[in-house]
Structure 1
Amino acid sequence: MVDAVTSTASPRDARQTPDIDSPAPTGPPDQTPRPPTIAAPRWWQRPVVRDVGVALLFLAGAAAVLSGLLRDPNGRWLALNPEDQTLYEWFLAVDTGFWSGEVDLVTDRLNAPDGVNLLTNTTVIALGLLFTPVTWAFGAPVSFALIATLNLAGTAFAWHLLLARGLLLTRGAAMAGGALCGFGPGIISQNNSHLHMTAQWLTPVIVWCVLALARSSRPDQPRTNAWWTASFGLAAVVTVQIFIGEEVLFLTAVTLLLVTLGYTAARPRLARRLAPRFVGGIVLAAVAALVPLAYPLWTQFFGPQGVRDGIFSASYFSADLASWPAFSALSLAGSPGAADLTTGPAEYNAFVGWPLLALAVACAIWQRRDAAVATCGAAALGMALLSLGPTVVVNGHRTAIPGPYALIDGAPLVDGALPMRFALAALPLLAVIIAVAIDRAAAARRPLVRYGVPVAALAALLPAAPLPLPTEARPPLPEFIAGGHWRQCVPEGGVLVPVPLATPPEPGPMRWATAAHATFGMPQGFFIGPYGENGTGTMGIHPRPTSQLLTKALDGEPVTVTPADRAAAQEDVRYWAADCVALADGTAGGPEARVVLEQLFGPGTRIADAWTWRL
């Protein structure tokens, strides 16, 4: 059987996408014709060398997109979503604690004293562990900038490898498909601080494992280790992906389910032959993955600070139907008006653009007899429809038309994913359709097809090409933190109360802990926790009385401190187990807040550029 994963056949000889039901060679080995002798390729023509060249090309493209951030990671941040960047830099800082023995999945370094469940929040633990040396040496902002860059390049390259080695497409077709997967409008938009969504470089590996499992499940396939390798390989990759981003894994699973159902409908006889061993392999992979994941998943959903429900509105976070043919504001052909069709600059998920949509539809019609193309087209349509949410929205107007998502709205696990992000999973499916069309055109006899399809693809892809993400200077850290003077106020592992306290809309004080590698804890913060009605999930926590009093002073409201306020302040710092309160110079409303703090805790002590109160 032609194995699409390991075959060394020339891509141009593959006129049809290698399929799991490709005929196996028959006859004894001595009757198999010998291939013609081919001269050894020059060093620059070797596949590995070309792969390195493609990887460097994608890396250069990713560096161009993140150029503003890479020039000065510690001095600049992404202008369109600095709040989430602050959050993810804190995640990367707290993840370093795993190397120093702090392996608890519920950290006490935020939301003191209750803490934060790391898996309930998208803490990208695997990435934090991998980049711990960089974080320790250069700081979390540098790790963030490198991960954001490598996520784009790695995703594009991984899809390129799957298309080139798994589907045996030509190098140009695989590069075009990989570029769309790694630099498409949706993933570029998510790269505004959503590291867990742009780390999609394991998705092609998951697809590879599923394809290998399907091929090794044929009844006429010789019993080898391929079935076991695919099953356990799938379990290993899924396990790692859980600690990078569960939402990407969920979207991948839904997409593969739609593809499997579509392929079953297209090839029912083959599906019946494959089903026993294929389903058995999936079950084996699930059981093998649950062995290392049982405790983490229990902690996430049933452990301390765990949340079992989604906190975001499916109706609000749904894709506008008009956004699909529109151009992202972050692309070459984009316009600022596109912002009216989505919830924010990090959610341009469905903005494929009409030329790319038209190209994908034309390519799907042209190659409709190809089972892989037909299946990808149907799955892409399914994911696009799911992205529309419970009710269809057109140009900002919510219609009465129900969307397919209404059938699964509120189901367990489903409500943890935003409907509009289903559009992200449609992008690789469109990329496969277009890449297969480019590959077929390269072998076409008619010049109009051979040259017309690549030119049309280039014309459709260029308007969707990304612009560099805008950046701006980030506020400097106080010398109290940057110079390590905080150690005179709070011991490592203690609790520091910054003024103001961090909240989801204003998480800036969390940068203090990030700069100190999260070696001290803080009350409140930007996180998901079980603080809603009946323990449902919420973003952040309701501020305690002292936090509310200080917020009023910082906002310029007149504050009269009463004995009740002093008693509440003492109760609050005891609840937080706080060691120190700190107010840095330059804080908006700082002088007014200092007066309130002195009335609550007495005269402050000057340390570097901050007023402090030891408790």
Structure 2
Amino acid sequence: MRVAPHTGGLVDLTVVVPAYNEERRLRPTLDAIRDHLRADPDRWGEWELIVVDDGSTDRTAEVAAEAAADEPRIQLVRSVRNRGKGHALRQGVLASYGRRVLVTDADLATPIGELDRLDELLAADDDAGAAIGSRAHPDARIEVRQLAVREWLGRLGNRLIQRVAVDGISDTQCGFKLFDGERARAAFADSRLDGWGIDVEILRFFRRSGWPVTEVPVRWSHQPGSKVRPLDYGRVLLELARLRVARGGASGDGGEQGGVRGAVRRWGRRHRADLAVAGVFVLASFFLYKGLWADLDRGYLADAGSDQNQWEWFFAVTADNVTHLRNPLFTTIQNFPDGVNLMANTVMLGLSVPLTPVTLAFGPVVTWALVLTLGLAATAFTWYRLFARRLTSDPRAAALGAALAAFGPPMISHANAHPNFLVLFMIPVIIDRALRLCEPAAKNGTSEKNGKDGKDARDGKPRTVRDGVLLGLFATYQIFLGEEPLLLAVMGTLLFALSYAVVRRDVARAALGPLLRGVGVALLVCLPLVAFPLYWQFLGPQSYHSVLHGDSAGNSPLSFLEFSGRALLGDEATADALAMNRTEQNAFYGWPLISLALGIVVWLWRLAVVRALAFTAVAAALLSLGQRIRIPYTDVVFPGPWRALAHQPLFESVIESRVAMICAPALGALVALAVAHLVDARSVRAASAVRDAEGSPAGWRERVPRRHRLIGLGVVAVALLPIVPTPLPVRERPEVPRFFTEKMYRAYVTEGESVVPVPLPDPGSAEALHWQSSTRFGFSVPGGYFNGPWGENRMGIYGAPARYTSSMLRDVRYSGQAPVIDDRWRAQARFDLDFWKGGVVVLVPQPNDAALYETLEKLFQRPGKRTGGVWIWDLPPRR
């Protein structure tokens, strides 16, 4: 309620003082304001002073009423209960009649005399919307300071609010602000926050309305008993977050729910294109994996080899380690007793750890399917966001380019078995953050961002520390998703940056300093976080130096012109002849797309970004040909450029044909640019390369004639249609024997012993890993499918080093011929089984199991025992 309401029209000035339990400090404050305004009646004219009692439990209202009795221009507005400073200010401003409105705290930490400085600024500019007191201004005078900790926390909170909500205003929370009256009433009528966050909400309203807000340095003194605490800055951020969700809601539950629905609708309208693109990518990803989702119990990706068993095992062993608080970087459940260095294997801790609840609740197969399906869609979406931000504002063009980058033939090949090369959603994020470091170089029109996004560089000064910290954190997370994809991404980014620098030396010179400083900050953040994991990877137990793949791991030049086995017009036989295996078809873009890319480069050659993308794609393609390049249909072989990198640290473990994966986003960016020009040249980002090499305006921005546009879009469709991926085939996986599902092995294996499958699991056949992961790791096995050391030089190999007995059983499995077994073989078998600490030998039904049974019967000189669907040979206790 309002006591003694104003009866006239507009007054010259209204002063609003919110008060909650301020009986001690309120009267001196009111007297000081009254005396200051009375002292110069010609300047202040008609004025009113509104005290808003925010449901005080002391004599605050009585004190205000007593002051009003002495000065009729003092008014009192009362609230039945305490609602917060925001609610009190809203009541007071909406009850005001002033042409200008001053809001000030009841403690008068900023003396009322500072009103003169704010008023002078508003009087000098008819268009000014607000003049706000600032304690952060270089000319401000802090006469009585807070405790150092409180002051530091306050600065930190103010900085956070500035970064999150009102960039460019250094002190949002100073309680001394002078507004244009009509604009203030409009802003407070639109406000919704009842707490400390209303200051930011009002300033954002002024910003959105285009009403200038100017900070004015003021005198300020910390007042004992102040109700403002450092943590209140955190509350402001929480209130702003709530406002983003509930904007538009009224008080009461029903109104707030309506506000949430309204906010969701408004957010949906603003991001309709993004939501549509994300939905299409998710549907496309589910379409590819529909066979796997149709039968999660028995479905197995047909072209996965042993990799699906391996990855399900990785997800399950991580969940098991997390659950039992064991070292997530090592395990002896596989390759018993030596164990496996999990950090030296791609277990994707960045996903396998947070998805532990899913793995425990639904099993590792569901985790495997989710990672593949949603990871592919997320990767496509982040490429879309990068292209939409950096290349074109047309969502259709950006989405098409992103689809090629994420669903291109190499990625679909890895979609069968290698989520670390499929789930690449952090790569575009890392690239974008690196580009942000270069943005101050773009003040003269060479920025890769438009004006809206350009707010990240204020006055040309890079936020190097913030962007460097984020880049370091993003890189750290990617290391725990996949190191080799990060290395390839760095290679591709360097190829692009170097080529772009050659074309645009002016941009390169301006960007080099901020970029190097930002990368330095990123390294300072990243290296301490990954130091121990990388130490464990390269120097810990079961670590290795490198994995060599021979001299023929490069792509054939023909593979770039052919279609992959999983492309719409692809042929498995043709693709198989040109690739290492079906999970390593790392090129296969097809001659139509290659031809289209050449045409785009010729058409848009004037664009620096097009020249840089072309160089990146060509250089990556050449590197992917390997150490020796053979001219198709001839015997001519000459050294390839990869030879210079093949034996360098890190690169020596890379399968060089994978470098061709860099071409996918480069080709996707070219397609996005071409489609953007065909649809509407104005949608091309002004930053991407809108100027030619001489820096003159790009004349090619003229709209393409309709007929040419339709022809161009048709050519793009024809070039992309042949490589559209088809659903990944699924086969039925073997059932897990009852010996394992019913835990019969417990009767034969004691602690410290292992189950010895016949033959031992290896990269060619790893069903034993599925027995483990599907039964919650009740037993360990020797051998396995992993990367580990071999020999004194710790050379990296796939699987465990072979032993005589494991090699002999493997030969029987594939030849179907039982060897002659004598005492030497029996002694060797006892030696190997003792090394493996075997408790029981298990033979499951499989091809050539009769020959395997005969071999085992001769080795142990006794028949096996049939139980739980398998043959077993119980081993005597080890001495």
TM norm structure 1: 0.87
Equivalent of residue 329 in structure 1, options 565, 568, 591: 565
Q: Return the alpha-carbon distance in structure 2 between the equivalents of residues 198 and 601 of structure 1.
A: 50
Give matches, 1:430-445, under 5 Å. Answer: 430-443=667-680, 444-445=703-704
TM-aligned CA distance change 1:325 to 1:130, over 3 Å: same
Equivalent of residue 784 in structure 2, options 513, 525, 529: 525
TM-superposed CA distance for 1:594, in Å, is 6.6
Cα-to-partner distance string for 1:383-414 (whole Å, 9 max, x where unaligned)? 11111112223447563232221222211111
TM-superposed CA distance for 1:193, in Å, is 0.6
Cα-to-partner distance string for 1:406-462 (whole Å, 9 max, x where unaligned)? 222211111221111111111101111110111122222421343333222222111
Q: Return the alpha-carbon distance in structure 2 between the equivalents of residues 398 and 310 of structure 1.
A: 28
TM-aligned CA distance change 1:377 to 1:29, over 3 Å: farther
Corresponding position of 1:481 = 740
TM-aligned CA distance change 1:497 to 1:459, over 3 Å: same
Equivalent of residue 233 in structure 1, options 461, 466, 470: 470
* Contact persistence 2:392–2:672 (CA under 8 A): no
TM-superposed CA distance for 1:353, in Å, is 1.0
TM-aligned CA distance change 1:73 to 1:369, over 3 Å: same
TM-superposed CA distance for 1:484, in Å, is 3.2
* Contact persistence 1:98–1:129 (CA under 8 A): no
TM-superposed CA distance for 1:549, in Å, is 4.6
Q: Return the alpha-carbon distance in structure 2 between the equivalents of residues 399 and 123 of structure 1.
A: 41
Aligned-CA RMSD value:
2.8
Corresponding position of 2:436 = 212
Cα-to-partner distance string for 1:89-117 (whole Å, 9 max, x where unaligned)? 22222221332212242321211111112
SS at match of 1:46: helix
* Contact persistence 1:583–1:611 (CA under 8 A): yes
Equivalent of residue 402 in structure 1, options 634, 639, 654: 639
Give matches, 1:250-329, under 5 Å. Answer: 250-313=487-550, 315-329=551-565
SS at match of 1:261: helix
* Contact persistence 1:392–1:398 (CA under 8 A): no
One-letter amino acid of the structure 1 residue matched with residue 374 of structure 2: L
Q: Return the alpha-carbon distance in structure 2 between the equivalents of residues 358 and 47 of structure 1.
A: 37
Equivalent of residue 509 in structure 1, options 734, 751, 768: 768
SS at match of 1:329: coil
Corresponding position of 2:276 = 53
One-letter amino acid of the structure 1 residue matched with residue 834 of structure 2: R
SS at match of 2:334: coil
* Contact persistence 2:473–2:526 (CA under 8 A): yes
Corresponding position of 2:416 = 192
Q: Return the alpha-carbon distance in structure 1 between the equivalents of residues 776 and 553 of structure 2.
A: 33
* Contact persistence 2:645–2:651 (CA under 8 A): yes
TM-superposed CA distance for 1:169, in Å, is 2.6
- Higher relative contact order structure (alpha carbons within 8 Å, sequence separation ≥ 6): 1
TM-superposed CA distance for 1:249, in Å, is 0.3
SS at match of 1:516: coil
Give matches, 1:373-388, under 5 Å. Answer: 373-388=610-625
One-letter amino acid of the structure 2 residue matched with residue 584 of structure 1: V
Larger of the two Rg values belongs to structure: 2
One-letter amino acid of the structure 2 residue matched with residue 63 of structure 1: F
Q: Return the alpha-carbon distance in structure 1 between the equivalents of residues 812 and 409 of structure 2.
A: 43
TM-superposed CA distance for 1:173, in Å, is 0.3
Corresponding position of 2:607 = 370
TM-aligned CA distance change 1:547 to 1:419, over 3 Å: closer
Q: Return the alpha-carbon distance in structure 1 between the equivalents of residues 264 and 370 of structure 2.
A: 35
1:72 aligns with 2:290: no
TM-superposed CA distance for 1:121, in Å, is 2.0
1:450 aligns with 2:687: no
Give matches, 1:595-606, under 5 Å. Answer: 596=856, 600=860
- Extract unaligned runs of 5+ from structure 1: 1-5, 7-27, 32-39
Give the stretch that moved more between structures: 538-547 or 176-185.
538-547
TM-superposed CA distance for 1:153, in Å, is 1.3
TM-superposed CA distance for 1:337, in Å, is 1.9
SS at match of 2:800: coil
TM-aligned CA distance change 1:307 to 1:451, over 3 Å: same
Q: Return the alpha-carbon distance in structure 1 between the equivalents of residues 531 and 812 of structure 2.
A: 47
Q: Return the alpha-carbon distance in structure 1 between the equivalents of residues 367 and 746 of structure 2.
A: 24
Which has the larger share of strand? 2
Q: Return the alpha-carbon distance in structure 1 between the equivalents of residues 816 and 552 of structure 2.
A: 33
1:576 aligns with 2:576: no
Corresponding position of 1:249 = 486
One-letter amino acid of the structure 2 residue matched with residue 466 of structure 1: P
SS at match of 2:725: coil
Corresponding position of 1:495 = 754
TM-aligned CA distance change 1:172 to 1:572, over 3 Å: same
TM-superposed CA distance for 1:147, in Å, is 1.6
The alignment of Structure 1 onto Structure 2 pairs a total of residues equal to: 580
TM-superposed CA distance for 1:598, in Å, is 7.8
TM-superposed CA distance for 1:309, in Å, is 1.8
One-letter amino acid of the structure 1 residue matched with residue 296 of structure 2: P
TM-aligned CA distance change 1:499 to 1:163, over 3 Å: same
Equivalent of residue 385 in structure 2, options 156, 161, 180: 161
SS at match of 1:211: helix
Equivalent of residue 359 in structure 1, options 574, 596, 608: 596
TM-superposed CA distance for 1:495, in Å, is 2.2
* Contact persistence 1:502–1:508 (CA under 8 A): yes
Corresponding position of 1:470 = 729
One-letter amino acid of the structure 2 residue matched with residue 160 of structure 1: Y
TM-superposed CA distance for 1:516, in Å, is 2.4
Q: Return the alpha-carbon distance in structure 1 between the equivalents of residues 589 and 808 of structure 2.
A: 47
1:147 aligns with 2:371: yes
One-letter amino acid of the structure 2 residue matched with residue 461 of structure 1: L
TM-aligned CA distance change 1:507 to 1:294, over 3 Å: same
Q: Return the alpha-carbon distance in structure 2 between the equivalents of residues 216 and 485 of structure 1.
A: 67
Corresponding position of 1:21 = none
TM-aligned CA distance change 1:460 to 1:42, over 3 Å: farther
TM-aligned CA distance change 1:174 to 1:108, over 3 Å: same
TM-superposed CA distance for 1:488, in Å, is 3.4
Q: Return the alpha-carbon distance in structure 1 between the equivalents of residues 635 and 293 of structure 2.
A: 40
TM-aligned CA distance change 1:197 to 1:493, over 3 Å: farther
Cα-to-partner distance string for 1:171-196 (whole Å, 9 max, x where unaligned)? 11011011111211111111121111
TM-superposed CA distance for 1:339, in Å, is 2.2
* Contact persistence 1:504–1:539 (CA under 8 A): yes
SS at match of 2:636: strand
Q: Return the alpha-carbon distance in structure 2 between the equivalents of residues 354 and 505 of structure 1.
A: 34
TM norm structure 2: 0.62
Give the stretch that moved more between structures: 398-407 or 238-247.
398-407
* Contact persistence 2:555–2:626 (CA under 8 A): yes
Q: Return the alpha-carbon distance in structure 1 between the equivalents of residues 606 and 500 of structure 2.
A: 12
TM-superposed CA distance for 1:568, in Å, is 3.2
Cα-to-partner distance string for 1:224-251 (whole Å, 9 max, x where unaligned)? 7832222111111111111111111011
Q: Return the alpha-carbon distance in structure 2 between the equivalents of residues 137 and 493 of structure 1.
A: 28
TM-aligned CA distance change 1:66 to 1:238, over 3 Å: same
One-letter amino acid of the structure 1 residue matched with residue 748 of structure 2: C
Give the stretch that moved more between structures: 402-411 or 188-197.
402-411
TM-aligned CA distance change 1:291 to 1:42, over 3 Å: closer
Corresponding position of 1:11 = none
